[in-house]
Amino acid sequence: MRLQTSMLLPFVLFWTLSGFAQTNPTSSQPTPVPKEIPSFDLTAIDKTVDPCVDFYQYACGNWMKNNPIPADKPMWGRFYELRERNLYVLHDILEEAEKPGQRSAVQQKVGDYYAACMDVPAIDKRGTAPLKPMMDKIAAIKTKQDFMQEVGAMHRDGVDVLFSFDQMPDMHDSRQTIADIDQGGLTLPDRDYYLKDDAKSVETRQKLVEHVQKMFELAGDKPEVAAAEAKTVLQVETGLAKAAMDRTVRRDPKVLDHMMTEEQAAALAPSFELTRYFAESGAPKFTSLNVSNPDFFKQVDQQLDAVPLDEWKTYLRWRTLDSYATVLPQPFVDENFQFFGNYMSGQKEIEPRWKRCVHSTDGALGMALGELYVDKTFGPAGKERTLKMVNAIEAAMHEDINQLGWMSEATKQKALEKLNAIVNNIGYPDKWRDYSSVVVTRDDYAGNFTRANAFEVHRQLNKISKPTDKKDWGMTPPTVNAYYRPDMNDINFPAGILQPPFYSNQMDDAVNYGAIGMVIGHELTHGFDDQGSKFDANGNLNNWWTPQDEKAFEQRTSCLADEYSNFVAVKDSEGAVKLNGKLTLGENTADNGGIKLAYMALMNAIGNTPIKPIDGYTPEQRFFIAYGQIWCTNVSDQQARKLAIIDPHSPGRWRVNGVVQNSAAFEKAFGCKPGQPMVRENACRVW
């Protein structure tokens, strides 16, 4: 695994970002870039609701009523509006870059990638030819050794099959990057889908089998053969799922901490032939590595022996088909969308092709596209003003730690040491990535896709056995998101999020602190959430807490886990699903601390100067409304159901109401009274 980074939002929200799909070439051409998203939107407010009774409904009620989910999305919200707007900006950049003639090397690379993606006739003409070399190699497999060799080849092309091989900073010395192997190889988004016996899970497996069968048929297999193959795929993947570790358990880095010598890892699972696998991986040499989930390898090792080779070959063919579905002709794209987009996410229509080609270019060459994006939209001024706010929030956290009543001086010193060591990355990386070795041609979309994937796999593995590159970003600059990395101890804000509705030059401090200020506070607090707090100032897994403080901290976080476990994520004809308070604990802790820090920073900024209400709202009220409104969301039942299983973030409604219920500042700002729903009797406060 790569150690989980803590983000503001789920990274893969739209299914298209991972399972990228093609579309109907005749459908909508983009209109000009939409106007800026309002940061503080009076028209979104539902004044028929008492803010002390249901603040989310108050801040977002009219927005929800007036902004149904677009047909080409599984969910919709304020920051999805910004993501959508960014798509239009990127589209303009790519249309420009795509025109042959006077182009920079970067424009040429991304422009040709985009052009090849948009060239439907060329993609249709090639048909399934891009798959043939891979399918031929799989067909030629005669022994288990051949099989493992092919798994290695597929990994080098970025196909998720059987297990994962990656790099990560050493959890005990984050200055060094080491190799890591982990569970992997599933088609559905979580092992639970394979293991649970409720009606919905059973149905999902049935739908998966139907989907796999259709895809095999499209690839040329006879229906009865394809039907048998689909059942085999489900069986093989169920075996992998049984060996996999639960998502919530995996949040604890200590559970994933198993350093071994290469020999020990190889002996753990002899059939994997790991020694040869590593030698052929293209990674620099290493003698020890982390095995995140040793049990997975032990169990799958037995399955490698027990399951006939032909069944493993069927599984490899499937993983190939699934990985390439989106770069193949229309029937594959449509079938892929029907399952992942429509059935799993509740999305009614596939996104227009141009949008998916923008996503695809960002996924393949995102740091090149990001370079053009930053030139056009961000610049040094954006970096400067964000840094000012980050400094203000960090100062608030400093103040906050010093005044904590429940923490001893000794632990406070360590916490401050960690806070002072946090590195702030804003907008875009210092150095742009060099993609010159990636061959991109205008007429070979599948080939471009494969070469870009292989480039990225190699770039990542090449970090092994080297000093950790702390300058490398985990998100591309146009991304509307932010993250904290516990093993790097850094906070990262891509340029994409540093604009309205998160930050606006036109807005008062109250609104900017409620929106981007809270985002900054959220990321900072991740360094001190239930898992982030296990890492020290240097990003090492190292307990800096006194036993007593640790106990007090755990009591505080368990208050949040209990609070959120009672919230309902989705309630539809198939029943109600509650939030998993333990899965979402890190994010809820970050929200709980983030709002407090942003509010403190705002109070510091205002000082003793009285500020008149604007639009009838005091600065304190504007702060909370701005916060509430960045989470205005409409979501399909299917998507809500899926996110309740896989997403460590709570849904928008609970990110707002779950937070303000614990905030004394909110209570005061709106004059709420004890006993009202937005005033929690025993408020949870962590930081």
Known catalytic residues are 523, 591
Residues forming beta bridges with residue 570, ordered by sequence position? 577
Distance of closest approach, residue 73 Cβ to Zn ion, in angstroms: 22
Exposed / middle / buried, residue 569 (Cβ in 10 Å: 0-12, 13-18, 19+): buried
Give the separation between CA 656 and CA 635, rounded to whole angstroms.
Answer: 16
Q: Does 67 bind Zn ion (CB under 5 A)?
A: no
| Those residues with Cβ within 8 angstroms of residue 163's Cβ, 6 or more apart along the chain or in another chain | 181, 182, 183, 184, 185, 272, 296, 297, 300
Q: Following DSSP, what letter does each residue of 147-169 receive, concatenated?
A: HHHHHHHHHHTT--BSEEEEEEE
Rounded CA-CA distance 16/353 in Å is 11
For Zn ion, the closer of residues 327 and 684 by Cβ is 684
Contact positions with Zn ion (CB under 5 A) in 583-602: 587, 590
Task: Give me the count of residues in the chain.
Answer: 687
Nearer to Zn ion by C-beta: 161 or 482?
482
As given in the structure block, the two tokens for residue 641 are: 């159901």
The least CB distance from residue 631 to Zn ion, in Å, is 13
Q: Report in angstroms how near the CB of residue 185 gets to Zn ion at its nearest.
A: 27
Q: Which is nearer to Zn ion, 7 or 154 (CB)?
A: 7
Q: Is 6 in the site for Zn ion (CB under 5 A)?
A: yes
Under 8 Å between Cβ of 595 and 625: no
Q: Which residues, in sequence order, are bridge partners of residue 178?
A: 168
Output the DSSP codes for 386-431: HHHHHHHHHHHHHHHHHH-SSS-HHHHHHHHHHHHH-EEEEES-SS
- Using CA atoms, how far apart are residues 625 and 615, in angstroms rounded to an integer? 12
Rounded to the nearest whole angstrom, what is the least distance from the CB of residue 7 to Zn ion in the complex?
5
- For Zn ion, give the closer residue by CB, 377 or 592: 592
Question: Judged by CB, which is closer to Zn ion: 509, or 591?
Answer: 591
In whole angstroms, the minimum distance from the beta carbon of 482 to Zn ion comes to 8
For the purposes of burial, counting CB atoms within 10 Å of the CB of 43, is it exposed (0-12), middle (13-18) or buried (19 or more)? exposed
Choice between 463 and 649, CB closer to Zn ion:
649
Alpha-carbon torsion angle 302, 306, 307, 308, nearest 10: 130
Q: Name the minimum Å distance from CB 204 to Zn ion.
A: 27
Tokens of 16: 């298209």
CB 98 within 8 Å of CB 90? no
Q: What are phi and psi of 492, to 5 degrees?
A: -135, 125
Write the burial class of residue 551 (CB in 10 Å: 0-12 exposed, 13-18 middle, 19+ buried): exposed
CA atoms lying within 13 Å on the CB side of residue 182? 23
| Shortest Å, Cβ 587 to Zn ion | 5
In the bound state with Zn ion, the residue whose beta carbon lies nearer, of 62 and 657, is 657
Q: Which is nearer to Zn ion, 5 or 235 (CB)?
A: 5
Q: How far apart are CA 53 and CA 133, in angstroms?
A: 62
Nearer Cβ to Zn ion, position 216 or 513?
513
Quote the least distance from Cβ 289 to Zn ion, whole Å: 28
Question: Can you list the alpha helix ranges (DSSP code H) found in 329-378?
Answer: 330-336, 353-377
Sheet holding 259-261, edge to edge: 163-170, 173-183, 288-291, 259-261
Residue located via tokens 């806070």: 419
Q: Taking contact as CB under 5 A, which single stretch among the options 4-12, 37-45, 55-63, 365-373 is the one that binds Zn ion?
A: 4-12
Could you give the string, one character per residue 540-579, with x where binding to Zn ion holds by CB under 5 A and - elsewhere? Answer: ----------------------------------------
Taking the complex as a whole, the smallest distance from the CB of residue 649 to Zn ion amounts, in Å, to: 7
Which C-beta is closer to Zn ion: that of 584 or that of 661? 584
Q: How far is the CB of 540 from Zn ion (least distance, A)?
A: 21
Cβ–Cβ under 8 Å, residues 629 and 59 = yes
# chain residues binding Zn ion, by CB under 5 A:
3
- State the Cα torsion 587-589-594-600 to the nearest 10°: 170
Assigned token pair, 372: 């053009």
Sign of CA dihedral 353, 35, 14, 338: negative
Note the residues at the interface with Zn ion (CB under 5 A). 6, 587, 590
